[in-house]
Amino acid sequence: MDAWGKRRDMVVHEPDPYNAEPPQDALTDQVLTDIDTFYTRNHGAVPRLDPTTWRLRVDGLVDRQMELSLDDLHDRFDRRTVVATLQCAGNRRAGLLAVRDIPGEHPWGPGATSTAEWTGVALADVLDTGGVAAEARHVAFAAPDMAHDAEPPQAYGSSIEIDKAMGAEVLLAWQMNGAPLPTVHGAPVRVVVPGYIGARSVKWVQRVTAQAEPSANYFQATAYRLQPADADPHTAAPGSGFALGPVALNCAILRPDDGSVVVAGPTQVSGYAFAGGGRGVARVDVSGDGGVTWAQADLDEQASPWAWRLWRQTIALQPGRAGIVARAWDTAAAVQPESPEHVWNPKGYVNNSWSRVVLTVTAAPGQQD
Ligand SMILES: Nc1nc2c(c(=O)[nH]1)N[C@H]1C(S)=C(S)[C@@H](COP(=O)(O)O)O[C@H]1N2
Ligand SMILES: [Mo]
């Protein structure tokens, strides 16, 4: 294992700040991602906070400001557990880079997505204890880690709308898969905003503020916003484009790997599909001929409204080149867009185009080519 407790074969996009995704094959077969395999995205150096002196400040448009210790969270509120997938808005950016370069952003594959069982307290219970004023429209989160990729450099923060913040699924969490939250994932306490892009799930959270406006933090006002293809992200004004919140419907083929060589005959294709915002994954189609004909994949159960669904499908492959394609549908009958050209944007967020891999299929032994 490496310094942050991750498996040695992580794909490390940057060592410091540490940004890494698992080899995609490692995400198949189990709903909950092992902690050593779970992707991690950090904009600044990972802080080590002392859990005994850590406090959560609750302030802004509340009747009672509060300062809560870890013991207060443990003792004064009901414990909640939610199975939720985290997906970075940069997940699958590599597919957008193939369309047009996106300087200064990590070329994430489909592994910037992982699922855990999170345990903590409902943010809503804490806010209710503080008494949220009627004028509050957003809840902002602040952390101490300094992000030098922000302009100007600043500590990490974000916000979510008050309606989402009051949802029972949004947690202040100190456990991941039943184990203490690891440092790199936000110890002692992080926010988990199920169904929203990972950027809203603020790690090492120290302050929760009810307010009338969204957070003015760089990562809410300037980054993690969807800009039109012709915008220049370096000159775009804060507040331009729109803030990313609920995760767009997405899927990825995890196995077999793009470019691999397989033997002709039945081949199992497997991957994940994820519909953010609490919508379910209704169907996944898989094609073995580049999208001419489709078969429906077998879907694993939807472990929670906030979790991905794993899927698999066995398709028959003939010798030659095979274009494998997968696309998901959600419970509102939305389907993924066909090509990355349609969704390209200057910061490279939300590549939810059809997942494609190309295989070289060799003749089975004894078979005529
Ligand atoms: N304090 C803080 N919180 C943060 C970040 C960060 O850099 N600092 N990165 C965000 C982003 S962009 C993502 S995708 C998720 C990643 O969470 P993980 O590292 O636990 O996988 O954390 C979010 N919360
Ligand atoms: Mo992210």
Tens digits of residue pLDDT in 289-308: 999 999 999 999 999 999 99
CA distance 314 to 146: 47
Residue pair 189/205 in contact (Cβ under 8 Å)? The answer is yes
**Residue of higher predicted confidence among 156 and 238:** 156
Mean of the per-residue pLDDT values of the chain = 96
| Shortest-distance atom of ligand 1 to CA 198 | 14
Ligand nearest to the CA of 6: 1
Average pLDDT of the residues in 224-247: 93
Q: Residue 34 in 3-state DSSP? A: coil
Residue with tokens 């940069």: 90
CA 104 vs. chain centroid, Å, equals: 20
| Angle 35-197-248 from CA coordinates, rounded to 5° | 115
Q: Residue 1 in 3-state DSSP? A: coil
Helix (H) or strand (E) holding 179: strand 179-180
What is the reported pLDDT for 236? 85
Residue pair 355/253 in contact (Cβ under 8 Å)? The answer is yes
200, two tokens: 């809203």
Q: Is 150 in the pocket of ligand 1 (CB under 6 A)?
A: no
Question: Which residue has its alpha carbon closest to ligand 1 atom 19?
Answer: 40
| Angle 122-127-128 from CA coordinates, rounded to 5° | 95
CA distance 166 to 126: 10
Average pLDDT of the residues in 4-22: 97
Burial 58-75 (b: 16+ CB within 10 A, else e): bbbbbeeebebbbebbee
Site to probe by mutation for ligand 1, drawn from 42, 202, 219 as the one with most ligand atoms within 8 Å of Cβ, is: 42
| Shortest-distance atom of ligand 1 to CA 44 | 7
pTM as predicted: 0.97
Alpha carbon of 215 to ligand 1 centroid (Å):
16
Residue pair 249/328 in contact (Cβ under 8 Å)? The answer is yes
**Nearest alpha-carbon partner for 61 in 2, 123, 132, 138:** 132
Average pLDDT of the residues in 271-297: 96
Residues 15-74: pLDDT tens digits?
Answer: 999 999 999 999 999 999 999 999 999 999 999 999 999 999 999 999 999 999 999 999
Q: Is 105 in the pocket of ligand 1 (CB under 6 A)?
A: no
What is the reported pLDDT for 278? 87
Question: Domains, the chain, ranges and CATH?
Answer: 11-243 (3.90.420.10), 250-362 (2.60.40.650)
Residue 119 has pLDDT above 70, yes or no: yes
Average pLDDT of the residues in 225-249: 93
Residue pair 56/34 in contact (Cβ under 8 Å)? The answer is no
Question: What sections of the chain are H helices per DSSP?
Answer: 70-76, 93-97, 123-130, 162-165, 218-221, 340-343
| Shortest-distance atom of ligand 1 to CA 88 | 14
| Angle 9-10-11 from CA coordinates, rounded to 5° | 115
Beta strands per DSSP E along 207-256: 207-211, 225-226, 242-243, 250-255
Among 17-31, 139-153, 187-201, 354-368, which is the least confidently predicted range?
A: 354-368
Residues 79-88: pLDDT tens digits?
Answer: 999 999 999 9
Q: Is 204 in the pocket of ligand 1 (CB under 6 A)?
A: yes
Q: Is 306 in the pocket of ligand 1 (CB under 6 A)?
A: no
24, two tokens: 């995609």
Q: Is 116 in the pocket of ligand 1 (CB under 6 A)?
A: no
CA distance 256 to 28: 11
What is the reported pLDDT for 366? 74
Alpha carbon of 253 to ligand 1 centroid (Å):
24
What is the reported pLDDT for 322? 97
Contacts of residue 163, defined as CB under 8 A and 6 or more positions apart, other chains included, come to none
Q: Is 185 in the pocket of ligand 1 (CB under 6 A)?
A: yes
pLDDT band with cut points at 50, 70 and 90 for residue 1: low
Question: Which residue has its alpha carbon closest to ligand 1 atom 5?
Answer: 42
Average pLDDT of the residues in 220-236: 93
What is the reported pLDDT for 156? 98
Residue 369 has pLDDT above 60, yes or no: no
CA dihedral 299, 284, 250, 169 (to 10 degrees): -40
pLDDT band with cut points at 50, 70 and 90 for residue 257: very high
Percent of the chain residues topping a pLDDT of 70? 99
Average pLDDT of the residues in 356-363: 97
**Nearest alpha-carbon partner for 315 in 273, 366, 262, 274:** 262
**Nearest alpha-carbon partner for 350 in 267, 270, 277, 268:** 277
Residue 234 has pLDDT above 90, yes or no: no
Residue 235 has pLDDT above 90, yes or no: no
Ligand nearest to the CA of 201: 1
Alpha carbon of 88 to ligand 2 centroid (Å):
4
CA distance 252 to 179: 28
Residue 354 has pLDDT above 90, yes or no: yes
Residue 148 has pLDDT above 60, yes or no: yes
Residue pair 252/110 in contact (Cβ under 8 Å)? The answer is yes
230, two tokens: 């012709």
